[in-house]
A and B are shown apart, each in its own frame.
Chain A
């Protein structure tokens, strides 16, 4: 049984609930295989200076991403101020416009506080968001799992709010599921289709399943696949976990109880 409908964010429609990164793979061929196994149709990319030294290397990451299969989501990774975010977002849009790839109309906003924690900087994030929304971007906002901050980000016009499960690349999973639950309640109140995505912190497939069971619309991850011992196998596991978590969340779990409840009938025991 497959679960329901596609995920719509801004002008784009995703047919998978998993968004996968393109960083940290040991080869572009491996990245390509992992993307296929993950069954995603949306991958994130970063904007960086062209390395002018190896002018004949000729390998661009886009040569390993099929424009017919994947929508690109450019990020503003590595930015620490609103000005930097806006500049990188505009460059990402420029790179994608006329490139043959979908993705020029949206951006993953990432405004970091410092290099050690890589935690999002909330004030710079909000400031950049307002500018980008005014410029017509559909903005997916990476942020901390602070309920009030997530509300402010939605109010400021974000196309999706993407609270971190735990710090980027930390593999700790969703550390505060209750915060995610409250964020979902608040942001989806009278607006059930509003996209909330857990971005960052996933370590393994069960983290994805757990996040999806909470009722988030999707999960964005990179290191958990790229850094696994067998990235291709992990990519396949992530696809299954996304589906399993979404199905289980929709099915509705039983309540947790302290004591046992027998599964076989008490009546009719021969020793009764």
Chain B
């Protein structure tokens, strides 16, 4: 299925969970925050929440800044 991840359209396996998506990108859950369609998903929901076709996801992390 197609989703928009961090502004880019990409294809992922149907019915993926957020945990599976993070795993496929080698991203530890403790170092990211995730939004689906503008709503924050809590970390403890990463395994249970399934991504739907055309969902808009943002995966953010902390970087250097002032």
For the side of the interface on B, what is the size category? 20 to 34
8 Å CB interface, B18-66 against A: 25-27, 30-33, 35, 38, 40, 42-43, 58-66
A62 touches B66 (CB 8 A): no
Majority-rule SS of B interface residues: mixed
Within the complex, the shortest CB–CB distance from B21 to chain A, in Å, comes to: 10
Residues of B within 8 A of A223 (CB): 66
Confirm or deny: B5 has a beta carbon within 8 angstroms of a beta carbon on chain A: yes
> Which A residue's beta carbon lies closest to that of B40?
A94
Residues of B within 8 A of A46 (CB): 62-66
Alpha-carbon gap, A49 to B32, bound state (A):
9
Report the tally of A-B residue pairs with Cβ distances under 8 A. Answer: 104
B63 touches A48 (CB 8 A): yes
Confirm or deny: B6 has a beta carbon within 8 angstroms of a beta carbon on chain A: yes
Within the complex, the shortest CB–CB distance from A20 to chain B, in Å, comes to: 9
26 intermolecular pairs with C-beta atoms under 8 Å apart: A21-B66, A22-B64, A24-B64, A24-B66, A31-B64, A45-B62, A45-B63, A48-B61, A49-B60, A50-B27, A50-B32, A52-B6, A52-B25, A58-B26, A60-B31, A60-B61, A61-B63, A62-B62, A72-B62, A75-B66, A91-B35, A98-B30, A99-B30, A168-B66, A200-B66, A220-B66
Residues on B facing A (Cβ under 8 Å)? 5-7, 25-27, 30-33, 35, 38, 40, 42-43, 58-66
